[in-house]
Amino acid sequence: MAIPSGRVTAEIEGHTVAEANASFETFFEQTNQRLFGGLCLVTGNRHEAEEIMQDAYLKLWERWDRVSAMDDPTGFLFRTAMNGFRSRYRRASVALKKRIAFVPDVDDLAAIEDRDEVVRILRTLSPAERASIVLTTMFGYSSEEAGRLLGVKAATVRAHATRARAGARASLEEPT
Amino acid sequence: MIDQQSVERAAERFHLPDGSFERLSLRRDRKQRNRRIRAGALGIIVALAMGAVLVRSIESDGIPADQPPPSPAAPGTLAYASDGDIYVADPDGSNVVKIADGRSDEDCMGFGAGGQYWAEGSMWSPDGRYLAYRYSGCHSTREAGPKGVVISDAQGKVLAKFATGTGWLIEWSPDSSRVAVWDELDKTIGIYGPDGVRQAQIPYPQDPKWEALDSDPYWTPDGTSLVVSQVELPLDGGAPWQAPPSFWEDVYNPRVSSPDGSRVAYVDHRSLIVARSDGSASRELMGNVVGEPVWSPTGDRIAITAGGRGLSQTELRVLDVATGSVSLVTEGRRGSELEVVGFTPQGDRILFSTGSDGSWSLWSIGVDGSDARLIDDVTEGNFYRVPWS
């Protein structure tokens, strides 16, 4: 299911908690599959993707009265989820330097790699590079916006996209 | 072809398992319950801390250059960031004092991940006189504002506040005289004194093979160079160079001196080694190590984390340096991180942080594994303290 690109209708003011929860559940149902799919592509791990997704939704739910009144709650959801991804990614990098143990990597991209050329290409990229691609192509952010979200330069985001497209071209040119 | 349609199609191949909203609801209930418990515990801590130290104002433009340096904090004094605020506490986690009061992560609405004031890495200068932490661009809920670094004394009095580029760690020089941060991410590094005056600006080589990869600058142990990702940048103007892997072992796995300076502990290929300070008489005392060694104040014990029996489980262990015997103190939950913060001044308890479900908590526990106590739940898991030696 695709996320509506505009504002998700929120009817919360003056309504009961139950109605607010119902409104949030509707928003969740409308947006979760696309966010989950995008995060799976970024992280390569279903478990990690659902963790980040749930953290993001929890943050929105806890302040749903304010978020639902925003012009673009879906955009805020993506921003929150990408902040979560970036925070985890950073923490993992630091931990790696310190040799702290982590859940063993599960490469869920590998399971469907053979069936999808995009997945095959994304699998060769780092999580940060994958995040650049997903933010700019799937979620419609400009390189500048994606750069701000990921804490990298817009030029780096563009370089990631170029690298992925070069990978796609090389893949198409490979003899089968 | 990598375009919106193909990426959307690839994303659709991942199906969210059934019951996702129910799992989210359960998680929310659990979080609310934990918050209620935490509120009770924190109330007690705050009551104890009342009146101990005044919260200082954080708005300041710096101090005169001729002012004497501030007094160092007591060894073991703790500093940490939590939900937009910065705290200091006694070595056993008591007497928590908020020294920087900022907007929470929630109030920042995504513009200041971690909140208005936050830290990643060693806030304390090695001599314990200064704290360095970041302020985010969370000046409103609608747009990102300027961001930078705050330097304060151990009581929270702000000595300097200056704007910088994006970055995470604020690395103090070994002699506590300077910090190094990105002035512009991946492009220029600024070196600042505790008064906030920039002393030098070092360009980072714009060579694709030396991509900085979101790494912050570190100081070499002798303080003569900075290192970023794989590149050493000499401060004497020498040419940057790519250091061999052994170089990084020294940077990332430093030798930790015992409080009396007579011995060092370090990790080599996941084994804990203890040796004389000159490197002689080295003994391999424990394997499967995943963290850094932390000496007890008396130097007779070392606390360290190691891989546990279960998959992705981490254990907190204590090593008796004289006998080499290792005992299990506690084990972390599967998949969660566990990091030693330090011993209490008496050496009878250990502070450690652990993270799961996206939140972090600070605990103390007896060295024999008894009487675990939750000190605080926080949003950032960075607890640092003034060295004992």
* Contact residues on chain B for A128, CB-CB shorter than 8 A: 214
pLDDT band of A118, cuts 50, 70, 90: confident
- Best CA proximity match to A91, nearest among A48, A57, A120, A50: A48
Do residues A93 and B214 make contact, with C-beta atoms less than 8 angstroms apart? yes
Chain length of chain A: 176
CB-based contact A156 B186, cutoff 8 Å: yes
Facing residues of B200 across strands?
A: B191
Element (H, E) at B202: strand B198-203
Spell out the residues 6+ positions from residue A22 whose beta carbon is closer than 8 angstroms to its own: none
Give the best-scoring range by mean pLDDT among A140-149, A164-173, B154-163, B181-190: B154-163
Spell out the residues 6+ positions from residue B190 whose beta carbon is closer than 8 angstroms to its own: B164, B180, B181, B182, B183, B198, B200, B201, B202
* Contact residues on chain A for B1, CB-CB shorter than 8 A: 165, 168, 172
pLDDT tens per residue across all 389 residues of chain B: 677 888 888 888 888 878 888 888 887 776 666 555 544 444 443 333 333 333 333 333 444 556 788 999 988 888 888 778 898 988 878 888 999 998 876 666 555 556 788 887 678 998 999 999 998 877 554 555 678 999 999 999 999 999 998 777 888 999 999 999 999 888 899 999 999 999 999 999 887 667 666 678 888 888 999 988 778 899 988 888 876 656 655 555 678 889 898 999 988 877 899 999 888 999 999 888 877 899 999 999 999 988 766 545 688 999 999 999 999 999 877 667 788 888 988 899 999 888 754 467 788 899 999 999 888 776 554 555 565 44
Is the pTM of the predicted complex or chain greater than 0.80? Answer: no
- Best CA proximity match to A94, nearest among B80, B337, B270, B343: B337
Residue B364 corresponds to which tokens in the numbers above?
């103390």
Q: Is B120 helix (H, G, I), strand (E, B) or coil?
A: coil
More confident residue, B73 or A114: B73
User: So what's the ipTM on this one?
Assistant: 0.72
Per-residue pLDDT at B75:
82
Cα nearest neighbour of A126 on chain B: B213
CB-based contact A165 B8, cutoff 8 Å: no
Facing residues of A28 across strands?
A: none
- Ordered DSSP codes for A74-119: HHHHHHHHHHHHHHHHHHHHHHHHHT---PPP--HHHHHHTT-HHH
Per-residue pLDDT at B173:
94
pLDDT digit string (tens) for A35-83? Answer: 999 998 888 888 888 888 998 898 888 888 878 887 788 888 888 888 7
Mean pLDDT for A105-131 is: 70
Cα nearest neighbour of B108 on chain A: A80
Q: What is the DSSP letter of A1?
A: -
The pLDDT of residue A121 is above 50: yes
- Alpha-carbon distance of B377 to B33, in angstroms, equals 13
B312 → closest Cβ in A40, A57, A101: A101
Spell out the residues 6+ positions from residue A168 whose beta carbon is closer than 8 angstroms to its own: A117, A118, A121, B1, B2
Residue A106 corresponds to which tokens in the numbers above?
């599960």
| The amino acid at B115 | G
CB-based contact B28 A116, cutoff 8 Å: no
| B314-to-A144, B185, B196, B265, B328 alpha-carbon distances in Å | 39, 34, 40, 20, 11
Chains A, B: CB contacts under 8 A, how many? 153
CB-based contact B335 A165, cutoff 8 Å: no
